[in-house]
Structure 1
Amino acid sequence: MKLSAEELKWIDERMKTYQIKHGEIYHEILDHIISAMEQKREVGDNRNMETLFQQVVDGHFGGDEGVQDLAIKQDDIYKQSILKRWLQSFKHYLTWPMLGFTMAVLFLSLKLPDVMQVKLFLLIVCMLLCCSPGMYAYFSLKGRVLKSVEGKQSFLKAHLIAMVCTPSGLFGVLTLNSPWSFIDYLSPKIFVATMMLFALVNLATIHFCRQFTALNPATK
């Protein structure tokens, strides 16, 4: 038997007493509890909401601490899933044709003149390629982020976008904390190699995000 709007609101407010950080996990547990309570109502269990709610929590999760433990475990499962997909996206482009193309580009970079103008241009290209994965992830996932709750983070927003931004973050830290004179000591082929690395990151990001956009259609 379906619960009333007032009962659903009560459950939602009661659920907010748990320290569940991410909206997706919050909704998974909330949906499970609602389904279990509706099943009990279906067989004639008409006890008050507080008693029925606690009975479901104790029976299905082992009490309030069990809900907290499940939220932590689900968080770890989600993290491992995202990391696995991210590594798979990299492996998708670690092919012999890509390696051959990279070696050809690096060979051609040996012909570039070792002058400041060329190195500054290559550095700017590296910076653009470094920033683009995060921007692509943000806009491609916009409107496709899984359910969120007011006051709670979306898991995708907190972890998936952070994952694709990690390489650019490391590059930014290294660049900003190094004296600009470091450009004088690097040859153009170092910048080209960095540029090719970020090109790979961009390709992996596109593949990575497309997997999630396919699973999560855009919301209106």
Structure 2
Amino acid sequence: MALLHRADLTPTKLELLNAWLPTKDWYTGPAEPDLEKVGAFRFDDPAGEVGVETMLVRAGDGPLLQVALTYRAAPLAGAERWLIGTTEHSVLGPRWVYDASGDPVYAATLAATILTGAAEAAEEFEVDGVRQVRPNPMQVTGSGHAGVPVPAVTAVLDVSDTHPTRIATDSVTLTVLRVLTGDAAAPGDAPTLTATWPGSPTPHLLAYAG
């Protein structure tokens, strides 16, 4: 479960991404994009400390892009390369926003979701002391099976900042697609993460283990 807050962000997530995405080699849109959010989902950090969100965005009629983000209350040591920017959250205060490919919490939650056949985290808001579920039209599914042992991920050892992005951790390697064309496939019988959303009922490959 992801507990969210009705809050303002300054700058907004899309404003941060408008500045950051054109610096990436795998981005092929305009130099000054005006991004549209197509969908988003979250994973749950078991420790409850790090926000983990994946957004699907598009610039104009360009390709659909997958951007995974982590939100932290303090800088992540040694992760300056992955810092997208900082934002002021009207409830939580300053937040450091990272490209999640360099964050071990993202790698751990992604691996667990893929290998155990789990789904995106349920999203709840607290309004006047009452928690309300926010339905998410985007549905994410891992291809694994419940109860499968998941190797502990405690460190990201290497990242290829390309499309697709390969994340080598101390226990598992993950591959994350940056550009979603709808025709990608995982190699062999690799466990996968796929998603559907309104207007796209056929599952799209987002990531796989291996």
TM-score between the two structures when normalised by the length of structure 2? 0.22
> RCO higher in 1 or 2 (8 Å CA, sep ≥ 6)?
1
- From the two aligned structures, give the one with the greater helix fraction: 1
- From the two aligned structures, give the one with the greater strand fraction: 2
Larger Rg: 1
